[in-house]
Amino acid sequence: MAIIPFDDRDGFIWFDGDLIPWRDAKIHVLNHGLHYASCVFEGERIYDGKVFKLAEHSRRLVESARLLGMKLPYSAAEVSEATDRTVAANNMVNGYARPVVWRGSEMMAVAAQAARIHMAIAVWQWPSYWSPEARMQGIRLDISEWRRPHPQTAPTQAKASGLYMIGTLSKHTAEAAGYDDSLLLDWRGQIAEASGANIFFVFDGEVHTPIPDCFLNGITRQTVMDLVRARGLKLVERAIMPEEMARAGECFLTGSAAELTPVREIGPYTFTPGAVTRQLIADYDALVRA
């Protein structure tokens, strides 16, 4: 399949307050976000012309910027309004939205207090990863050599671009070995998340998930937790060690891009996507189009 470059597409991108032609959205190579990772973003799904949980995503974008010392010149409400404008301008029905915030090119050093804070929003078509049949087969994960860092070593509650470097390294290694994705442990050796999605396990009908104390507490994660509670299932947030996967019956990932994706294998451990996973997928799919 031919790759369509993201810098050569039709449509409009919201850039620092204005909707401009897609191909005109350019920045200089000497910008602080590129060189020093002073960049945060959001990943949002568009269903039937509306961004799911838009207000939550916009608030998190503002908070992520704050955690990196960047005062976004727009409120969360203004970010949401700009996102809606971008979706409408591109006539996007079902797709993906990517707001991004970064420091500009005024200063090129570690310290860049005078650099301007920029924001852009792009949307594009992005169907679900899987057909309903393929989805329930479950994906295969390797176990990464990289680990999520201690929260005193990085702003782990920000959706910051720099924190995704080890996710990219992990996923590239996994795909080269024939896997779909990779599981990352944290600095303690506890289960953390996949390269860009949160993880859940089902133990004897109970749904367990790691405590997000060193990785992002995903909006889809929180949504699925609400669905678990609504179904009357027991939900447990706790430290989960890798060897415990031997007794888990089901496993799934959650994320705006991944939605709710079953897992059938992680390294030497196997799972069978079952009744709990099927029910939560049905509940999630109904919710996003409600």
CATH number of the domain enclosing 215: 3.20.10.10
- pLDDT tens digits for 83-114? 999 999 999 999 999 999 999 999 999 999 99
Based on the fold, state whether residues 280 and 254 are members of the same structural domain: yes
* pLDDT for the residue 135: 81
Confidence of residue 117 (pLDDT cuts 50, 70, 90): very high
Same-domain check for residues 141 and 262: yes
What confidence score (pLDDT) does residue 130 get? 67
Last residue of some domain: 125, 144, 172?
A: 125
115 located within any domain? yes
Domain assignment present for residue 82? The answer is yes
Q: What local confidence, expressed as pLDDT, does residue 290 receive?
A: 87
Same domain, 278 and 226: yes
272 and 156 inside one domain: yes
In a domain, 7, yes or no: no
Q: What is the pTM of this model?
A: 0.95
If asked whether residues 91 and 204 sit together in one domain, one would say no
Write down the pLDDT at residue 1.
59
Match 């404008």 to its residue by tokens: 85
Q: pLDDT exceeding 70 applies to what percent of the chain?
A: 98
Number of compact structural domains in the chain: 2
**Which contiguous run of DSSP H or E holds residue 116?**
none
Residue 2 domain flag: no
Residues 85 and 117 in one domain: yes
Cα–Cα distance list, 151 to 12, 50, 60, 229, 283 (Å): 37, 34, 18, 28, 33
Same-domain check for residues 209 and 163: yes
The answer to whether residue 52 is domain-embedded is yes
Same domain, 99 and 177: no
Domain assignment of residue 5, yes or no: no
Quick: pLDDT tens for 229-280.
999 999 999 999 999 999 999 999 999 988 999 999 999 999 999 999 999 9
Q: Give the residue from 84, 107, 125 where a domain finishes.
A: 125
Using 50, 70 and 90 to split pLDDT, how confident is the model at 127?
A: confident
Q: Is the domain of 72 the same as that of 183?
A: no
Do 76 and 143 lie in one domain? The reply is no
CATH number of residue 64's parent domain = 3.30.470.10
Q: Which of 50, 53, 159, 171 is catalytic?
A: 159
Domain coverage including residue 162: 132-288
Q: Is the pLDDT of residue 118 over 90?
A: yes
- Classify residue 1: in a domain, yes or no: no
Distance CA(66)–CA(124), nearest Å, equals 27
Average pLDDT of span 185-214: 98
Residue 70 belongs to a domain: yes
Domain boundary among 92, 125, 158: 125
- CA distance readout (Å), 67 to 72, 159, 272: 11, 10, 39
**Pick from 194, 193, 192, 201: which is nearest to 274 by CA?**
201
**Amino acid 147: pLDDT:** 98
State pLDDT tens for residues 1-55: 578 899 999 999 999 999 999 999 999 999 999 999 999 999 999 999 999 999 9
Same domain, 109 and 145: no
Q: CA–CA separation, 121 vs 12, rounded Å?
A: 9
pLDDT for the residue numbered 2: 74
Distance CA 156, CA 162 (A): 10
* Residues contacting residue 216 through CB under 8 Å, at least 6 positions apart: 156, 157, 159, 163, 193, 198
Q: Is 159 an annotated catalytic residue?
A: yes
169 and 43 in a common domain: no
pLDDT band at 128 (very low <50, low <70, confident <90, very high): confident
pLDDT digits (tens, 9 = 90+) for 134-185: 788 999 999 999 999 999 999 999 999 999 999 999 999 999 999 999 999 9
